[in-house]
Amino acid sequence: MTETIGQISLSGSFTLPGTSMTVNRMGYGAMQLAGRDGNKLVWGPPKDVEAAVAVLREAVARGVNHIDTADFYGPHLTNQIIRKALSPYPDDLVIVTKVSARRGTDGSWIPAFSREDLTVAVHENLRNLGLDALDVVNLRGMFNIHEPAEGSIEAPVTVLAELQQKGLIRHIGLSNVTAAQIAEAQRIAPIVCVQNQYNLAHRADDDLIDDLARDGVAYVPFFPLGGFSPLQSAALSDVAALLEAKPMQVALAWLLQRSPNILLIPGTSSIAHLHENLKAATLQIPDGVLADLNAIGRRQPSQ
């Protein structure tokens, strides 16, 4: 166990700007703990709740102290599983959640930007996680559900800032947003992290990552392994064979080496897969090999 905690520490740590929250760069995303009901993704309970509890406990035991979640996963059930598995929470554990979406009965993802929607969402996260205050709340852009799209977020960020002043939220982040929206939000409240889709093949945020790194703001790529369409590349497989690692471990290690402000939140419902992901923290990709990996994003434009 101590060895694995040491392995995670090899990826380094990051302190969210303006906070005392320092997290290991290898974290855990809880989305996959929810179940699936036909075509409804991230819906209902997992097949085995106790197995989901075991994965969370193993992640924390192995040194993970950054968990990403949302109360619209399930909905509600993922946060309830986190509470069951980990409450009372370790002092160094940082739980980051998201708001501004709700689920339709058909499993759809519905924008929920209103003052009432956001206030209800914050209170639901508090209740289901069993917390008095949320460490970080990310406002998720919903102008385009699948990728960032322009549109003012001044009103919803203002609501979160007011809830922060009331002590219900400690810090504010953003998800699925553009550079212009980040700048707009920063005029209202300090932003500690940005969470967008980014991986070896989806590289639209290259410049944004560098800009955030200069400002000391964390960048948290969602779908770091491709999400519902896992990364597939002959070049990635070739590098993995050269390094005697699995392709997904190489993809995670590439992200860790991409920029020191990148925090990883790969998700899984399997302890074996969790261990594989965590081992990526020990993988060093030689400079001579990085060019082959960097070219993947040019050969496979983002969808």
Which residues does residue 98 pair with via DSSP β-bridges, in sequence order?
Answer: 138
Catalytic residue among 73, 89, 198, 219: 73
Closest CA to 170 of 65, 15, 14, 20: 20
Q: Calculate the CA 76 to chain-centre distance.
A: 17
Active site residue 219: no
Just list the catalytic residues. Answer: 73
